[in-house]
Chain A
């Protein structure tokens, strides 16, 4: 049976740090033996056979998979290689994301964007062409369908291949998106226009730093700009485009998603909102398709 090969610098660090962990544990228990023995006796949970086992009492549980409390020397990547890639992504993101939805630090954004780039195989970034939104981690809420051309109604909105029944109830927004109709008429509407409405998001463009001073420039930049939107709790992701501005800050939401976006991301709790990550897709040649994207 072939043995899986790991990168030498990984092996080097893992072995070095596990040796240090053993030494740390040994010293800690030796220096404070009375307290640890008392703790062990009190909890009556452990078989005391080593310094390490005593330390297990106060060892952090960092992730679901670490919660198995595997003795340090037994930490092995092998079982994890069978993890579903989406689960792996969820775990990876959990290292960087705060417990609650809040503004990410520069460091967190950098780690998250690199993680997403690696997983999905497309370059994503919080900053593109010197512009950024005010945040990259926020609560997404459900939006309605947008009129794609003058006269577009719920009766004309779906093609035979669409799951009209599923999305019909969302209804259509009374006004147009921030950049008007997607096409001048039904006849002129292209497949790209259809996809732009289907997978649109509304973001708070008006909160972007520099927007008020350079509104036209920023508006042009944001128009149909592609973003990778990820549900960090289930690993589902899609490439969406910005086709509307909103929601208002008083709603407590930070962005909105079309019915199709919300459905795919499974991003609707009882209050029809939930946390997502959203980063610009660097796609100067327009080669990245809108819609669901799978891990590479």
Chain B
């Protein structure tokens, strides 16, 4: 699985576990995991961009495209106060909502 620049800050095993408890075919689980990964990625990008100036946004996005994780972190630690906490907080909110969705999905007939 690809490791994104925020990989060390996120903990989404619980979501994979919650999906395991749903009666899903393997390919169905795979689809949902991919959607979760993508939505989390966008959520984290959305949490970071408002903290940056227009020029820094461009620099940040170009580093994300090339997956230059060292430069991403050099930029973020310089420009965003407490960036790790912000990423963790965004992830926690995202994970909480996903869990609620999965919980509700148990009742879908």
User: Which residue numbers of A lie inside 8 Å of B, CB to CB?
Assistant: 6-10, 12-14, 16-18, 20-21, 24-25, 27-28, 31-32, 34-36, 38-39, 42-43, 55, 57-63, 65-66, 72, 75-77, 80-81, 83, 88-89, 91-92, 94-97, 99, 105, 107-108, 110-111, 114-115, 118-119
Known: A39-B58, A58-B65. A8 touches B101 (CB 8 A): no
Supply 22 A–B pairs (Cβ within 8 Å), ascending by A.
A7-B25, A7-B28, A8-B108, A8-B109, A10-B24, A10-B32, A14-B28, A20-B39, A24-B43, A31-B46, A31-B50, A43-B65, A58-B64, A60-B41, A62-B38, A63-B34, A65-B30, A77-B25, A88-B30, A96-B13, A99-B1, A110-B17
Write the chain A residue with the least CB distance to B109. A8
B33 to chain A, nearest CB (A): 5
Contact B45 A28 (CB under 8 A): yes
Known: A8-B108, A8-B109. A39 touches B50 (CB 8 A): no
| Residues of B74-109 whose CB lies within 8 A of A | 101-102, 105-106, 108-109
Write the chain A residue with the least CB distance to B57. A35
Contact A21 B35 (CB under 8 A): yes
Write the chain B residue with the least CB distance to A91. B30
Write the chain B residue with the least CB distance to A25. B42
Contact B16 A111 (CB under 8 A): yes
Contact B101 A42 (CB under 8 A): no
Contact B57 A32 (CB under 8 A): yes
A215 to chain B, nearest CB (A): 34
Please pick, from B27, B32, B61, the residue contacting A17 in the complex, using a CB distance under 8 A.
Answer: B32
Determine the distance from Cα of A13 to Cα of B36 in the docked complex, in whole angstroms. 10
Contact B26 A118 (CB under 8 A): yes
Please pick, from A13, A36, A83, the residue contacting B32 in the complex, using a CB distance under 8 A.
Answer: A13
Across-interface contacts of B4 in A (CB, < 8 A) = 60
Contact A88 B27 (CB under 8 A): yes
Contact A60 B38 (CB under 8 A): yes
Please pick, from B14, B26, B61, B105, the residue contacting A9 in the complex, using a CB distance under 8 A.
Answer: B105
Across-interface contacts of A97 in B (CB, < 8 A) = 1
Please pick, from B22, B30, B37, B42, the residue contacting A28 in the complex, using a CB distance under 8 A.
Answer: B42
